[in-house]
Structure 1
Amino acid sequence: MQELNMDWGMKNRYHSVFNEKSGRTIFFAVDHGYFMGPTTGLEDMHKAIHPAIDYADALMLTRGALRNAVDPKLKKPISLRVSSGTSILNEDLLHEGISVGIEEAVRMNAAFVAFSVMVGTPASERDTILEFSKMVDAAERYGIPTLGVVAVGRGLDRDARYLSLATRMVGELGARLVKTYYCENFERVIETSLIPVVIAGGKKIPEKDALQMARDALDAGAIGVDMGRNVFQADDPVAMMRALAKLVHEDGSVEDAYAYYQELKGR
């Protein structure tokens, strides 16, 4: 277990994002604004975050959103976005480097630092890998685990061959947890990863399809989900988060979780 290579402080931060009963996790990702601006569902950050975060295990967001839209009394652990560099307007999407220093992450009481890594994009691959490695070095010094986010560039296939490569690289470079996309033959991604895997929700899809993707990923060996648009862009974000919790933490079926969503929707 990679946990054997952690000091007490890092173990404590690492375990803070996992549900004690299920051993799994639900990250609520609302960090999209750092390159997408006020995208649909995130126009009002406070409204987007509360009360859906009550049913998640951790919150993933930027320092600006954390300072300005989150009640400091929140008891949920924070995964702080520490990479950026380009906006959605740039053709070289997600050419990222370190944009938040480790001292700032400590000040923000981050349980994890999150960094996007581009694999296979000629213009940005080397830069993001080296910057990611610097952040891992800094975070390890302060006992903060790194969440490596597999970011897929334009024109690249999200298949098991590519995602296995990118996911494995993130672990080899020192991340403690990896966020990657679900794909066909996802078992290969899990089997070849050095570290636990959570799946990204990706673009908005119908609620039942998102629940099915989560179920399939968990069955393949993922340790949890890191969803954003499939929650905050759902018809009822709170109901969707509660349905995810039923599926992830109670090991519910897709049918039960979706029925629960339909029951809660609009209350």
Structure 2
Amino acid sequence: MNGIEARLERIGTDGRIVNIPMDHGITIGATDGLKEIESTIDAVTRGGADSVLTQKGLSPRVHPNKNGAGYIIHLNASTVLGEADPNDKRMTGTVKEAVRRGADAVSIHLNVGSLQEGDQINNLAEVTETAAEYGMPVLAMTYARGPGVDEHDPEALGHAVRLGEEAGADVVKTAWSGDAESFEHVVESTAKPVIVAGGSPEGDRAQLEQVRGAIDAGAAGVSMGRSVFQHEDPEGMTRAVASIVHDDATVDEALSAGEL
């Protein structure tokens, strides 16, 4: 087993991944669930999250509270306040910094179809090259976003995840296409594990139905942020999601598991 394989086991379980990204503070500020991020990290990892994800500066607040879960450091960002295009993600960290800060993997966001696509592809290529030298897995968050691009079109999403694989990523994350049948095309577009973003379904049942649909379509798991860390019961919501991803629970069983 090489370093990448060993570290992939730290951010997932038996090839399945429940990841809770909490890098949103750099984008939208210290919103609910992120002000006291220590308690949120403790809750979601007690609930069964395989890994959490933040920007590098929060690493001292992550390690004491993650209950043995894996840790991913995100390497780029933008803010909602800046005058630039929000699709223009700028580098905020490096693979070497992530190694020094105790990460098990790194992640980087790409908006495929955006005006900044070229720069972001270059950034991903550089990250995967350096990460391979350190045996560090790379999660590429490949979204279909830009002028005239439908963010939920399965063809565009399939193209996005394939780009992630071809540029050297080990795991790819993308948006939900709307139903399990169309998401099968997305999953089949790459040989790498595909995990689905949470999006913004209304209500716990709708959110869990999306998770169930993604797993039915062949996804390897989920990377769900605000729908978990802003939930009134982050631990319960994580437990419900994990029951689907890891235990193949139905939506009703998941709601019961999370006591939602």
Give the partner amino acid of 1:167: V
Gaps of 5+ in 1: 1-6
Structure 1 residues 103 and 72, CA, compared in 2 at 3 Å: closer, same or farther?
Answer: farther
| Equivalent residue, structure 2, for 1:4 | none
Give, in angstroms, the shift of residue 46 of structure 1: 1.4
Verify: 1:230 aligned to 2:230, yes or no: no
Alpha-carbon separation, structure 1, partners of 2:99 and 2:257: 38
Alpha-carbon separation, structure 2, partners of 1:72 and 1:160: 37
Structure 1 residues 229 and 72, CA, compared in 2 at 3 Å: closer, same or farther?
Answer: closer
Alpha-carbon separation, structure 2, partners of 1:78 and 1:57: 9
What's the CA shift string for 1:84-107, capped at 9, x where partnerless?
A: 2x3112351131243212221111
Compute the RMSD of aligned alpha carbons: 1.8
| Equivalent residue, structure 2, for 1:31 | 23
- Count how many residue pairs are aligned between Structure 1 and Structure 2: 253
Give the partner amino acid of 2:244: L
Alpha-carbon separation, structure 1, partners of 2:25 and 2:223: 16
Alpha-carbon separation, structure 2, partners of 1:26 and 1:72: 17
| Equivalent residue, structure 1, for 2:142 | 150
Is contact 2:144-2:156 (8 Å) kept?
Answer: no
Is contact 1:87-1:94 (8 Å) kept?
Answer: no
Structure 1 residues 48 and 215, CA, compared in 2 at 3 Å: closer, same or farther?
Answer: same
Is contact 1:30-1:228 (8 Å) kept?
Answer: yes
Which residue of 231, 235, 253 corresponds with 1:256?
253
* Runs ≥4 residues deviating over 4 A: none
Gaps of 5+ in 2: none
Give, in angstroms, the shift of residue 129 of structure 1: 1.0
Verify: 1:162 aligned to 2:156, yes or no: yes
Structure 1 residues 168 and 230, CA, compared in 2 at 3 Å: closer, same or farther?
Answer: same
Give, in angstroms, the shift of residue 62 of structure 1: 1.2
Alpha-carbon separation, structure 2, partners of 1:194 and 1:73: 30
Q: Which moved more, 1:150-159 or 1:49-58?
A: 150-159
Verify: 1:89 aligned to 2:89, yes or no: no
| Equivalent residue, structure 2, for 1:177 | 171
Give the partner amino acid of 2:18: I
Which residue of 237, 241, 263 corresponds with 2:238?
241
Identity of aligned residues (%): 32
TM-score w.r.t. the length of structure 1 is 0.88
| Equivalent residue, structure 1, for 2:11 | 17
TM-score w.r.t. the length of structure 2 is 0.91
What's the CA shift string for 1:101-134, capped at 9, x where partnerless?
A: 2221111121110000111112x11111111111
Is contact 1:139-1:145 (8 Å) kept?
Answer: yes
Give, in angstroms, the shift of residue 24 of structure 1: 1.3
Q: Which moved more, 1:177-186 or 1:39-48?
A: 39-48
Is contact 2:41-2:65 (8 Å) kept?
Answer: no
Which residue of 104, 111, 127 corresponds with 1:111?
104
Give the partner amino acid of 1:129: I
Give the partner amino acid of 1:42: L
